[in-house]
Structure 1
């Protein structure tokens, strides 16, 4: 008996999954529990086992295709078995919604055939999508719309921007190439998310240097006599300070969803972790309710498992504010990180270097660290953002106060 295999739910918050790679081809035999497909969710690649034994009769969801949870991705059964009924039922179900994204290169009309003004006027495209396309030098007539009646949506344009559809590169194709890296998987997920963020919010960045003398002194005191594995990191202290600042002033612990600005009661900090193939942002939940040692242990554990691709979807979702740290590279003082929607702010941390500072009227050397607060001006104005940053500076420069 043929068995339909649907997009599995790999986490409580998972709504869709992307087919990253099929590990079996149509016509291959497969045993129950054998690896069948790789599915990407929130930048995590999950290797999914087969729940049935037989022959892979039909692959319904192709590579890079997005499918909602519960929707058909393949069929397993006996060789030669009739699966037309299963396919017809799945097609009827999916015809009511648009699954996946426009395929690369999907066009309405050949780029070599210019449209007349009358033809361009007949193309269905939302005003926001049109403005976004024109602002990015995109020929929207070459984009396949996924909205009602083929209407081109804002998301269609955003995807086209990241994939280069409708754009002339202006670069010759016969130049020598050192390396070709497929734009797919985690790299593509990051790119599309960042493009959506850049095109949808009104970013403002505030830069400031903060004196790390207090943090370094506190860390030295806490780590005196401690075993290496138990030593508190600077990152843990800074994360605790950020969480405390959000607790005292929650204006940035928010999200913009539709026509609602939601100020969240719980504080969950996204921690950006760099990997060779991209970036992952595991989530530290409720650090305000945990001891500094617990925060330190959890940050270390999340980072280690992120680098080994051992996090599940729930550990990658639900952040209310994100912190990204480039200080360890020793080359960056300030930068402008991109907000992770629907969050409304992100904090970038730069390197700590000895610099001249005026203390009690005297010029002395101090360990100064760069902070870059990026916020969405649609949600938060400059004054409250500056007030929050001042609060954070106070907690960092007098770190014992965050425990009071």
Structure 2
């Protein structure tokens, strides 16, 4: 009996040590959760597991998973995700209703049940139930750890206690990484503000002075056409550089970060003296997607100002099925794709690729330019509340 207790103690200690080492190796939440889940399953001699991160009672995401049965794994784990997942998930419902506050050893998986109802031949790998362990930190909800194996394994009390201890470590790690990322974002914002201030106080002022000097020299060189033409070019270029610098400074400053995509882009258009026609569905975007849409839109609007020879731009944000679409369009001279490097295409494409979006540009000569960004399954949409301005 004593030997068995000693063995149990050493197993629990070793499990916590290995999981702790894994949890402290990365500042990427998803990488950390995936690695920890796989190690925990191996040590507990289990086959399948997944972790939900819970943001509120209406929002969650599948953050990590390992060896899901085909019934849950097909179509990129569609049934496990919030947008098309199970609407009556027992474990998440109990968790959100504060009825799952400790490790529970056997919960019938509603997602597997639904899969069998839809397709009696669905391959569930013999799974029907799973253990559920809440992830919390100081009483705050973080997520849910689900573990399963064929045959409804019965967990001992000491195993459930071990799982709760590991779950607490995972919850603390998620909070640590989130705080780290928040601090990093604050440092980036601080540096962006400093750069914007320095550009405003030095480069912008010098460009302004150059522009004034060029105008003065131009007025004094009326009798020398060659000089007047050269100085006129200098004046025009300095004015363009001044406008570009002003746009860059505005993009660097963090004041617009709380704006919606359309509000931020409308402000950009107005700052450049463009008439903006805005039509947007009210869509809730995660922060990364929102900022990326804003950056791409700003680039497109600036190109409208600089190259289109049009003083009007159309800004549209809409949804179609499971796709959100941002469109920036003008009725200018077009031809943006005929001059390499002119349209900032590479920058916009890179930004779109970073969030898994696709970017297209339609710019026939003399028929205007249309920039369109399409993104799948990254948003929560409120379809019926739309507005139009301009």
Query: How would you bin the TM-score normalised by the shorter chain?
Result: under 0.3
Q: TM-score, normalised by structure 1?
A: 0.21
Q: Provide TM-score, normalisation by structure 2.
A: 0.21
Q: By percentage of residues, which structure has more helix?
A: 2
Which structure is richer in relative contact order (CA contacts within 8 A, separation 6 or more)?
Answer: 1
